[in-house]
Structure 1
Amino acid sequence: MEEKVAISMAGVEQNRPHFKLGPLDLEVPAGYVTALVGPNGSGKSSTFRLLLDLAKPEKGTVTVLGKRVGGGDDVELKRRIGYLPENTNSFEDSLKAEDKAAFVRQWYPDWDVNYYRELLRLFEIDSSLKLGKMSKGMRRKFELALALAHRPELLLLDEPSSGLDPIAWKKMIGVLHRHMERGDRTILIATHIVEEVRRLADYIVFMDYGRVLGMYEKDELLSSWSVLFVQGEGRPEWLLRTVPGAIRTEEAGGSVRIVTSRAQQAERWCESEGYRIVARK
Structure 2
Amino acid sequence: MTDNDFLAERFETYRGHLRAVAHRMLGSAAEAEDAVQETWLRLSRSDVREVDNLGGWLTTVVGRICLDLLRSRRTRGEEPLDSRPPAPAGGPDPAQDALLADSVGLALLVVLDTLSPAERLAFVLHDLFGVPFEEIGGILGRTAPAARQLASRARRRVRGVRAPEADLARQRAVVEAFLAAARDGDFDGLLAVLDPDVVARTEAGVNAGAARVAAGAASFAHLARVARAVLVDGATGLAVFAGGRPERVLVFAFAAGRITGIDIVTDPARLADLTVEEV
TM-score range, shorter chain: under 0.3
Compare relative contact order (CA 8 Å, sep 6+) and give the higher one, 1 or 2: 1
Question: When you count strand as a share of all residues, which structure comes out higher?
Answer: 1
- Which protein shows a greater Rg? 1
